[in-house]
Amino acid sequence: MNPYSSGGSGGGSSIAESILSGVGSLLTYAAKNIDWGSVADSVIDNISDKKTNKGDANAYHKQGCALNEAGRYEEAVEAFNMTIELNPSEVSAYCNKGFALSKLGYYKEALDAYNMAIEIEPSLTSAIENVKKDILKKIK
């Protein structure tokens, strides 16, 4: 007897088939009835609760990354500023801030953020220099 079978002889469906059918129904329901944009906003708002994040550079950094992903660049810059205030040596916060600033068209400020990342972690120079070249092309 198949250990994954629900029993019965011959025509019975397996437990795996039942699970897959249930998952398929759940996904269909979710696709039709859940506003995923609102779900993302809710998650970001929870992360961005300043009372929760107070003193937690990592939480602000995660918030900034989520905001960048959502295209909310001004808010992302604020979150990365908080990250940097709490942990001035967080290289990725400067890089992510530079990304958000460049998306907003603040190219000089983006270059400044990338330069700070290089100052903190010189081994990133070659990778960041390529990003800076792209920004400089936009300025010209």
Query: Rounded to an integer, what distance in angstroms lies between the CA atom of residue 49 and that of residue 90?
Result: 21
The pTM for the full model equals 0.62
| Residues facing residue 27 across a β-bridge | none
Task: Output 25 or 126, whichever has higher pLDDT.
Answer: 126
Query: For the chain, what is the total number of helices (H) and then of strands (E)?
Result: 8, 0
pLDDT value of residue 42: 59
- The yes/no answer on whether domain 48-139 falls in CATH 3.30.70.3400 is no
* C-alpha closest to that of 98 among 120, 72, 76: 76
The pLDDT, as a whole number, for residue 136 is 86
pLDDT given at position 65: 94
CB proximity list for 113: less than 8 A, separation 6 or greater = 94, 95, 97, 98, 101
> What does the pLDDT average to over 1-9?
45
CB 79, CB 50: distance < 8 Å: no
1 has pLDDT over 50: no
